Amino acid sequence: MPDIYRACASIVVFRPAETGPGHEILVLHKPRKRDQWQLPQGGMEAGENVEQAALRELREEANLSVEVIGQSATVYQYEYPASYRRFRPDNVRGQRIRFIFARTGQDAKVQVDGKEIDGFVWVRREDIGRYIRRKQYIHIIDTLLAEAADLLR
């Protein structure tokens, strides 16, 4: 059986910045040792399109309703480390993530489940590096923010 990439969907949720002009994005915290902070995301289930999967994951992870404002052309594909693949009983070699864009109000209430997701932060672009360390993922976020700029005007 050939190796495959797991189909995933992610969502970039914007809200007006708490202070000053611009926007903040929602970043969630997973209780693990590496790469704890990420955009809301997860695997696509049978029959779901990218938007449906991303909205379902957002509800499951943050209990948040949003207004979808677009879909990204960006795809983030990466390989699982060999140390992780050793413990997988399948032929999934990594993930292929597609993205949608959404917005919500300043007063949006995020409610994490405390298990899969145990924290969250609304963050401006200039502060992303305080939470996300992987340069490749920061580059993807920068690409997504540039792509969404026209949608937020």
Residue numbers in the chain where pLDDT is lower than 70: none
pLDDT of residue 69: 98
Q: What is the pLDDT of residue 2?
A: 82
Residue 14 is predicted with a pLDDT of 98
CA 35/CA 30 separation, integer angstroms? 8
Which pLDDT score, from 0 to 100, does residue 143 have? 97
4-152 — its CATH code? 3.90.79.10
Condensed to tens digits (0 to 9), the pLDDT of residues 104-147 reads: 999 999 999 888 899 999 999 999 999 999 899 999 999 999 99
pTM of the model: 0.92
Q: How far apart are CA 112 and CA 117, in angstroms?
A: 6
Per-residue pLDDT at 138: 95
Burial of 92 (0-12, 13-18, 19+ CB in 10 A): middle
Residues in CB range of 146: below 8 A, 6 or more apart: none
Is 50:71 a contact under the CB 8 Å cutoff? yes
H or E element at residue 26: strand 23-29
